[in-house]
Every structure is written in structure tokens, then in C-alpha cells.
Amino acid sequence: MSQNNNVLESRTVQKVTTRIIPFLFILYIVAFLDRSNLSYAALEMNKELGLTAEVFGLVAGIFFIGYAFLEIPSNIILYRTGARKWIARIMLTWGFVVILTAWVQSATHLYILRFLLGVAEAGFFPGVILYLTFWFRAKERARAIALFMTSVAVSNIVGAPVSTWIMDNIQWFGLSGWRWMFILEGIPAIILGVITWFYLTDRPEQAKWLTEDEKRWLNTELKKENEEKLSVKQSSTREVLKDSRVWLLTFVYLFYLLGAYGLTFWTPTIIKSISASYTNTQVGLLAMIPAIIGLIAMIWWARQSDRTGERWIHTAVTLIVSAGGLIGSGLAYNPIVSILMLAVAFAGAYSFFGPFWSLPSLFLTESSAAVGIALVNSIGALGGFFGPVLVGLLETDTALFVLSASFFVSLIPLFAIRKKMLIHDNGAKVQLENINKAN
């Protein structure tokens, strides 16, 4: 019987992974590219529109203001209406906003459209993280999240050469290459939004692609995990908002994203500063190197985290590696060494996602996770505002050191919540033992 259960478990997990992760992977490639392709546009756009480094930093960061304010309501709507409809809506609206960006004529236009892009895309990432909790148990979640998050690295690997190639080679109807880049890279979001409506399945019980035995097994396993957390404490939305552990996670993510997005939006400019003779296409090809190394590190590190079941140290190590890579790049005088140290920073930054996004599910139930995950991502997203703005205000080398410091600062709330979790876990253990004795 046990052997049959093992076969059922393996088959079901494999089916769910194969059905869901590749599709979400494709969606986030497009999402992240449409969010970050501004960094490649800057190679030509800043000069054409007369944007200073400070203005561009604000343009890049303002996306996260609208994004942050609407994430919690967006995740609540997704929880109530289902991922299929809500993610489709998100993709359609952000695709149209990206295409409209091709016709901007001033910094003001960019401010408005980047803010609206953040509003349109708000809820996609935390919605997907929540959606994965409907399908994967805690022990498979870090790998599932990491497989999904590899799309960030792939987006840079694919997006860097494609975006810069479009800029260098397509100027149809008198429009600049960077304008065509927004048009051509906004269209896939609209197409995939329509496909999402028909492809995604909201819950396991609705999955026609699972057998009845597989549905029953998966629902039982997920329900059992949720009930174990509920048996200790069922958190209302108000209680989640008062939970210090959730707020500590938001500060970890806030300072992480400050460093990560400062790095992401300015990498093409940093590479271009190494040699002014680089063409846009050459910059794009060089930008692939950190992304490829980051992708390999990300998958390997998530597997290590899942294999050991350890999340805290695995998260902390990625922050230290990211900071070290940025410091090394800032100190390097050799262009090759500088790019390789950027690759180290990307390896740490990408590897962060798998173990970190497994942390909320250690103490949040399914319903409270909708609010908790959105809160962490929304407040944390403000780091995406401050990172690009800071880099725009500072010299490149100084900015790299400031970004590295933000990764180190992330460690403080990370270990503070670890201490709280140890105290909470010990208390919960005693509480469960008392419940068992009473029964």
C-alpha cells in the first residue's frame, strides 16, 4: 500500500509541476522583460528625450509605487475570484500599457505610464506565489518557486540580446528602435493573457488533467498541512497585519529589492560605462553572462534548500554572496573581472527567491497567506523604487557599495524573525502536546 502511495505521490507531483510551472515560467519571462526592458531602452531613450541619470532613476522606480499600493487588494481578489481570471486581466492591461510607452515624448509621459504599468501588474507575482500554495506542499515549494523564478534569469538571458538587437536593427516608419522594442515586447503579454483564461486551473478539484485518485490525494495532503497550522492558530486578516514575523519578512524583502532592482535596472548602463565603444547588441550579449550564471546557481541552490529542508541559512547566504559580488565589481579595474563579479552578485540575487518565498508558508495558513504574501511583496516592492533612484543619484562605484550594504541590512530582520520563529515553534510544540494529552 505504501508503495502504491509513493507512486501516486510521485505521479501527481510530476503532473502538477509539468502542467503549471512551464506556463507560469513563460508568463513571468514576459512580465519581467516588460518591467525591466526600460533599462535597455535607456541606452538610446535617455539621450532622445533628454533624461538625466536622476530622472531615469525616478522613471525606473516609480513603477513600484502603484505596484506596492495595489498588491494586497489584488491578492485578495485573486483568492476570491480565482487565478485564471485575475492573472489574465493583469496580463492584458500591462501589455497595453507597455505598447503605449512607445509613444512617450517626455519624462512626464514616462512617469505616468510607468506608474500605470505598476498598477496594471500589481498582484501578478504575489498572486503566483499564492497560487503555488494551492498546488504544492511545503516540502516541494522552494523548488517550485525557484523553477518559476528562473524566468527572471531567462528573461534577462533572452531579453538582453533581443531588446538590444531590436534597438539596433528595427526603425520602421521612422520610429526609433527603443520605441519598437516596447511595441514588440508588449504584444506577447496580450496574447498570453487570452491563453491564460483558457489554460490555468484554479484548484486541484477542478483539474480535468488529474485523475480522481490524484485529485483526492493532493487535496488531502494540502488540507492536512493547512489544518496543522490551523490547529495551532487561525489567523484573521487583522492578525496577519499585526504579526511581527510578517513585517520582519517585509523588511528583509524591502532591502533585498533595493539592491536587486538597483542592480537590474542599471546593469546595461554599468556595462556600457566599462567601454563606450560597445554597441547596444554587444551590451546585451555581455549582460547575458551574469544572467546565465545566476540561472544555474538559482536552480542548484533551491534543490539544496529542498533537499535539506532548511530555509533560513540558505536565504542568508544568498544575501552575503550578492553583497560580495557588488563590492567586488565596484573595486575591480579590469572589465572582465567587473562583469564576473556582477555575475556573482546575480547568482546570489537570483538564488534568494526559492528559500525566501518558502518562509511565509512555514507559519501562514492558506487564507492568511493571501494577505501575508501580498503584504511582504507590496511593502518590499518599495525597495524597487529606492534602488534605481539611489543609483541615479550616485556615481556608479559608490552606488554599487550602497546596494551591497542593502543586502547586508536584509540580514538583520532575517535573523530577528528566525529568533521569533524558534520561540513560536517551541510554544506551538508545547501547545500541541497539551492538546494531544487532553484528547
pLDDT tens sequence across 77-110: 888 888 899 999 999 999 999 999 999 999 999 9
Question: What does the pLDDT read at residue 426?
Answer: 47
Q: Is 434 exposed, middle or buried (0-12, 13-18, 19+ CB in 10 A)?
A: exposed
Q: Highest-confidence range of 35-39, 221-225, 263-267, 341-345, by mean pLDDT?
A: 341-345
Of all residues in the chain, what percent carry a pLDDT higher than 90? 32
Question: What does the pLDDT read at residue 236?
Answer: 60
- From the list 30, 24, 81, 19, the residue with the least C-alpha distance to 190 is 30
Say if 26 falls within a structural domain. Answer: yes
pLDDT grade for 430, boundaries at 50, 70 and 90: very low
Question: What does the pLDDT read at residue 432?
Answer: 35
| 395 pLDDT above the threshold of 70 | no
Question: What does the pLDDT read at residue 386?
Answer: 82
| 167 pLDDT above the threshold of 80 | yes
| 15 pLDDT above the threshold of 90 | yes
Question: What does the pLDDT read at residue 237?
Answer: 64
Of all residues in the chain, what percent carry a pLDDT higher than 70? 90
pLDDT grade for 263, boundaries at 50, 70 and 90: confident
Average pLDDT over residues 234-238: 60
Cα angle at 127 between 122 and 128, to 5 degrees? 120
Say if 219 falls within a structural domain. Answer: no
| 417 pLDDT above the threshold of 90 | no
Say if 220 falls within a structural domain. Answer: no
| 414 pLDDT above the threshold of 50 | yes
3-class secondary structure, 136: coil
Say if 415 falls within a structural domain. Answer: yes
Give how many domains the chain has, as a whole number: 1
Range of the structural domain that residue 47 is part of: 15-202+239-428
Residues 6+ apart with CB under 8 A from 60: 38, 39, 114, 261, 265, 388, 389, 392
| 43 pLDDT above the threshold of 80 | yes
Say if 1 falls within a structural domain. Answer: no
Question: What does the pLDDT read at residue 2?
Answer: 62
Say if 5 falls within a structural domain. Answer: no
Q: Which three cell numbers stand for residue 286?
A: 555581455
CATH number of the domain residue 26 falls in: 1.20.1250.20
CA distances, 258 to each of 51, 402, 406 (Å): 22, 10, 7
pLDDT grade for 428, boundaries at 50, 70 and 90: very low
Average pLDDT over residues 68-81: 83
Which one is predicted more confidently, 340 or 332? 340
pLDDT grade for 320, boundaries at 50, 70 and 90: very high
| 404 pLDDT above the threshold of 60 | yes
Say if 266 falls within a structural domain. Answer: yes
Written as one letter, the residue type at 157 is I
Specify the DSSP class assigned to residue 311. -
Say if 213 falls within a structural domain. Answer: no
pTM of the model: 0.74
